[in-house]
Structure 1
């Protein structure tokens, strides 16, 4: 709050500038990053606050945004602040530079120059700044690969990616040698290339989390093509290759039904071993019965690997075209603004006690927070704004009577019947474009509970 004081300028009037807006906390996808290790031990981040407004109509500066960089493939989810359970997905950042605001900064308070009217020439109050929002979010990284190699442990997935790309995973003759996914860039003879992920071995029950199944299966969700590898020798356990094939498909389906419909190439490995002809033929029939392409390969001798890589590259190129056509472009900033307006334009009235009511809503609560309660003029201004927005009328419709207690956040007010005659005989006009009547009120009465809940929303034009 400020007034102009200058020689030879009588009645200078109010000249308080607005406070600066707070900075946003923004999650940004960065192609140079490969992990979320930066956020493992530091959990609290805060953007810069705006500065105070000054006299001579000087506005405060806005706070700088805080940019938090994450790898491509990071999923951002909102968490319940109490239970820490995921509520909903905010964004799936898959493109370099893609970003989403996870905690918007509060708006700066308005200076007293905004509250001048034809009868209130020198308002002695200003508006407080809007508090920043606090959110708990979860970051989960999922691999960005075109092809995922899946199968039972020790079927040769790591050997395959080492043979067709420059990746050098750990290879040994015991199960679960691979504990983290390995990525490799594969280039076909025709020049086409794709990114391949060697996913750690899956076992029966992986969809329920057995053998770290959830941690491994999540990396398959993004891939356009699944290469299902099967050891036709049965491994050291002597397993049936066809049973292994069906078992892994059941786990994929149980984890996410969409994975069962994902394009899949079935690969029989170790086909250079003697006595595998019958197993190869049985697996071929099972794959073709499901309408899937089949290859019999050997990662040791290189049998059929060139044809296999060329087929994968062509399939990936076709799938990329389909994804580009069917994936809509989402304007996250517009979606966020729409969500904010929808939240702001809702009013909830709930009876907490016989003569006590709880009023909540984004716009109402923000007005209360931004009011200077030590300033009588500011409090009176808020009261008139609430009247013009129709709060008293909605309370009357909900069943409030004269003298009831109205609770907004931590504050309490006394309700006055709007039909009660105005004994003061004075009405001070205020002009504020943001004040809008609440419409389309719905009432709900619990059959066994005397509490009365009303929902109202204002419509912007």
Structure 2
């Protein structure tokens, strides 16, 4: 049967393009000089990633990698506005981390969101803004504006979805130490169990219930080996699922397995790999579980492991997945520890929906403007908001181009170019367009400033302008 568990996917997302604004004038009988009445274009739909508690895998994104939202329609005369495009909601499991990918290397650049609560959502591909109709550009001196804005093409980019299991306790250990057998005994999970290494190829989740009524979600993580934190074996793929757990159940085979491994070496190797993968895992609460204690001749190994675990401050349990020996005591204690740990976390950091936080972060990134020197008298200006102004301008219309220059001045672009060191006559590049700088410029023509990053509209009311 094909494996349907997927915990890492790269997908391409694109919001809907914005509709164009309309340039129109009122024309009807007995109204010889009707004013402008062009409606706005509709906004493109957003692509949204939303956490859904009913999902347990990213399998929906294993074969389909391109997702598009609906585009906005164009505005029309008589103040008729275009329809907004339909948004596209992509459902993902709880615990999914969303990251922006570098378009060339496909490596993560920064984190967009970490969706841990049901219903949390983040816009990963905003729809393009609809162009404004000419009714917005009327002023006391411009009574009949003969231009409107184009719709904004939406951004297309790649993002990474990484799912990290939202389990309370993770069973970790070398291959074939009995992790799957233990989770099958303490919960209703039915993982594949066999007597050869790497039987478990995907994490398994099970709910264990203590006699006190307390319960916890346990994750059976595929076996780790030395070098797992560097990508050896299956460890590099699944160590991520240990990060969110409140407690680690470290399972050790006291018989040494087929290879006759030493229990202390196994115990130390797994702890070293956890610490190498993420330093916080080295101090994560841990219980040490000595499995297969029903077999004869392992008494010495059990006591050696007990001494090592207690020396590290970890509670120790001798169990047998085959007979059920010691499992009730293990489940009762782990359930109590998980409940205490979760209460501590809840008291320190109450759960809250971060949807608004992710949106504020996205809007802040949208407003960033970067000015970078490309050559001695050539500057490159980049940023979503400033580029939006350019792409929405009708370059065949002189009035529209003049209005764009006005917007540049209002948003502080000329001032920031002067701070960076631009002088009269310098070439300013935005996307595929080039302009000649005509500002005051810096006093020092050979300024050493090569890059400036500012927040667009930080001290301007241009965002609210309705001319």
- TM-score normalised over the length of structure 1: 0.88
What's the offset of the Cα at 1:459? Answer: 2.5
Contact 1:349 1:395 in 2 (8 A): no
Does 2:157 align with 1:135? yes
- Asked if 1:346 corresponds to 2:350, the answer is no
Match for residue 217 of structure 1? 239
Q: What's the counterpart of residue 398 of structure 2?
A: 376
1:271 to 293, 301, 307: 293
> After superposition, where does 1:204-243 map in structure 2 within 5 Å?
204-243=226-265
Unaligned runs of 5+ in 1: 420-440
Deviations 1:321-341 (A, max 9, x none): 122223353533344334434
State the distance in 1 between where 2:411 and 2:160 align. Answer: 38
Consecutive unaligned residues of structure 2, counting only runs of 5 or more, are 1-22, 461-467
Matched, 1:322 2:321: no
Q: Measure the CA separation in 2 of the matches of 1:338 and 1:348.
A: 21
SS at match of 1:45: strand
Q: Is the 8 A contact 2:423 2:445 kept in 1?
A: no
Which residue does 2:459 correspond to in 1? Answer: 460
Name the structure 2 match of 1:167.
189
Structure 1 residues 53-72: aligned runs within 5 Å: 53-72=75-94
1:98 matched to 2:130? The reply is no
Q: Indicate how the Cα distance of structure 1 residues 175 and 58 shifts in structure 2: closer, same or farther if over 3 A, else same.
A: same
CA contact (8 A) 2:371 2:379 kept: no
| Equivalences, count | 436
SS at match of 1:69: strand
Paired position in structure 2 for 1:409:
431
Give the structure 1 partner of residue 173 of structure 2.
151
Confirm or deny that 1:293 pairs with 2:315: yes
Say if 1:342 and 1:136 are closer, same or farther in 2 by CA, change over 3 A.
Answer: closer
Superposition RMSD on alpha carbons, in Å? 2.5
Q: Is the 8 A contact 1:406 1:414 kept in 2?
A: yes
Change in CA separation of 1:202 and 1:455 when aligned onto 2, cut-off 3 Å: closer
Equivalent residues in 2 for 1:14-29, closer than 5 Å: 14-29=36-51
CA distance in 2, matches of 1:334, 1:186: 34
Which has the higher mean CA deviation after the structures are superposed, 128-137 or 252-261? Answer: 128-137
Shift of 1:242: 1.7
TM-fit CA distance, 1:22: 0.9
Among candidates 66, 70, 81, match of residue 44 of structure 1: 66
The question of whether the paired residues in 2 share the 8 Å contact of 1:444 and 1:453 is answered with no
Report the alpha carbon displacement of residue 272 of structure 1 after superposing the two structures with TM: 1.6
- Please give the alpha-carbon distance, in whole angstroms, between the structure 1 residues aligned to 2:40 and 2:312: 67
What is the CA–CA distance in structure 2 between the aligned matches of 1:281 and 1:417, rounded to whole Å? 80
Describe the shift of the 1:182–1:119 C-alpha distance in structure 2 as closer, same or farther (beyond 3 A).
Answer: same
Contact residue 372 and residue 379 of structure 1 kept, 8 A = yes
Q: Aligned-pair distance for 1:65? A: 0.8
Q: Determine if contact 1:106/1:129 at 8 Å carries over to the other structure.
A: yes
Q: Is the 8 A contact 2:422 2:445 kept in 1?
A: no
Q: In structure 1, what is the Cα distance between the partners aligned to 2:224 and 2:237? A: 10
Deviations 1:348-372 (A, max 9, x none): 152x344433333433322111110
Candidates 191, 213, 234, aligned match of 2:213? 191
**Cα distance in 2 for residues equivalent to 1:442 and 1:281:** 76
How far did 1:86 drift?
A: 0.8
Question: Which has the larger displacement, 94-103 or 45-54?
Answer: 94-103
Larger radius of gyration: 1
What is the CA distance between 1:315 and its match in structure 2?
Answer: 1.0
Deviations along 1:379-417, whole A, 9 cap, x unmatched? Answer: 122223334445445545555444443322211223335
Q: Is the 8 A contact 1:443 1:454 kept in 2?
A: no
Within a 5 Å distance, the mapping from 1:67-78 to structure 2 comes to 67-78=89-100
Which residue number in structure 2 is paired with residue 86 of structure 1?
Answer: 108
Residues 442 and 132 (structure 1), Cα distance of their counterparts in 2 relative to 1, 3 Å cut: farther
Larger RCO, structures 1/2 (Cα 8 Å, 6+ apart)? 2
Could you tell me how far apart the structure 1 residues matched to 2:412 and 2:172 are?
A: 61
- Determine if the alignment matches structure 1 residue 336 to structure 2 residue 359: yes
Tell me if the contact between 1:165 and 1:185 (Cα under 8 Å) persists in the aligned partners: yes
1:286 offset after TM fit, Å?
0.8
1:315–1:393: structure 2 CA closer, same or farther, 3 Å change rule?
closer
1:308 aligns with 2:330: yes
